[in-house]
Amino acid sequence: MPVSDQAFVTLATNDTYCQGALVLGQSLRAQMATRALVVLVTPHVSRLLRALLSRVFDEVVEVSLADSADPARLALLRRPELGPTLTKLHCWALTRYRKAVFLDADTLVLSNIDELFDRSEFSAAPDPGWPDCFNSGVFVFRPSLRTHGLLLRHAMDHGSFDGADQGLLNSFFSDWATADIHKHLPFTYNLSCNAAYTYTPAFRWFGSRAKVVHFLGPRKPWTYKYNPQTGSVLDEGPGAAPRHELSFLNLWWDIYHRSVLPLYGSALGGPRIVALSVSVSEIAIQEKVRALSPEEQRRRWEEGHIDYMGTDAFARIQEKLDRFLH
């Protein structure tokens, strides 16, 4: 029996992070998660991606964007793009669920993790960069409008020491490090697999027990290119920056290729469209081409550079399909 008053929750404020949310959702389904799957989106997320998310998640909930607008502290974190992560705080407003587990959209679930619902608010795993802080990519919480209000007030009154959600949540749940060891999740529930963070011997020793991997850091799985023939992301050569553990990257892409790309096909009216996106030996997820004029976008479209993730992708593909069919 599915448990209807508990949920796994993630967040995507744009179509790119939606790609991660789709893989995360499919990984939870593959591991037979028995709780509702919920994704928070903001008004920016396109119609196409909302349609795809609703194929995987039980609920796609629109919330307003909350941005720290704190470039100085985000610069300390060296992640200027993370201001919108304050939107995460809106997960406390999901009060139809009694308990929930939040997972970043850049996480991947490797085994069933329903046992996390035995934990109480606020449970999380240590951050690999400063282990007296928790990492806010995976946590157990109890939705409550009171807590939601207090968190927003805390954000207004004190801001966040890292300009994003993790700093804020750590100063709000400030006794996490010392109060109750049961609220420390094992690192295997939030294993950062960025080579730069890894204590390699421990990774060798314990890594096979990983339950949730987290592609923490500026490089995400969707920024790599993947070759479906070899089942591997492309080697970027000796001068390239250290990358995430290869086997986890390949697993992410395997799920994307097998169980996310086909959703595009069915949402857009049949397998012929899937062929458009996977006919080549490399798959890459293109960033939005925001700066292009409508004429320029049209030219790129006619030349075959298709912006599947664009706000108007659905309309364009439909238009092309109509022309093709007539």
Nearer Cβ to Mn ion (135/297): 135
The entry of ligand UDP, Mn ion, ligand GLC, none near residue 162 (CB within 5 to 8 angstroms by kind) is ligand GLC
Query: Judging by DSSP bridges, how do beta strands 191-192 and 134-141 pair with one another?
Result: unpaired
- 41's tokens: 């989106």
The entry of ligand GLC, Mn ion, ligand UDP, none near residue 128 (CB within 5 to 8 angstroms by kind) is none
Q: Which of residues 77-96 bind ligand UDP (CB under 6 A)?
A: 81-82, 84-85
Query: Judging by DSSP bridges, how do beta strands 134-141 and 35-41 pair with one another?
Result: unpaired
Q: CA–CA separation, 167 vs 88, rounded Å?
A: 12
Out of 11, 22, 109, 233, the residue judged to bind ligand UDP by CB under 6 A: 11
Residue 307 in the binding site for ligand UDP (CB under 6 A) = no
Q: Which of residues 27-46 bind ligand GLC (CB under 6 A)?
A: none
Residue 17 in the binding site for ligand UDP (CB under 6 A) = yes
Q: Are 270 and 276 in contact (CB under 8 A)?
A: no
CA distances from 219 to 22, 46, 214, 273 (A): 18, 23, 11, 29
Peptide bond into 206 cis (omega under 30): no
Annotate each residue in 81-120 with x if it binds Mn ion (CB under 5 A) or - if it does not, as one string.
-----------------------x-x--------------
- Contact region for Mn ion (CB under 5 A) — 89-97, 111-119, 134-142, 199-207? 134-142
Out of 15, 104, 162, 245, the residue judged to bind ligand UDP by CB under 6 A: 104
Query: Judging by DSSP bridges, how do beta strands 3-12 and 35-41 pair with one another?
Result: parallel
For residue 324, the SS3 value is helix
List all residues 6 or more positions away from 85 whose beta carbon is below 8 Å from its beta carbon: 11, 68, 164, 165, 166
Residue 124 in the binding site for ligand GLC (CB under 6 A) = no
Nearer Cβ to ligand GLC (70/162): 162
Out of 7, 8, 9, 12, the residue judged to bind ligand UDP by CB under 6 A: 12
Q: How far is the CB of 12 from ligand UDP (least distance, A)?
A: 5
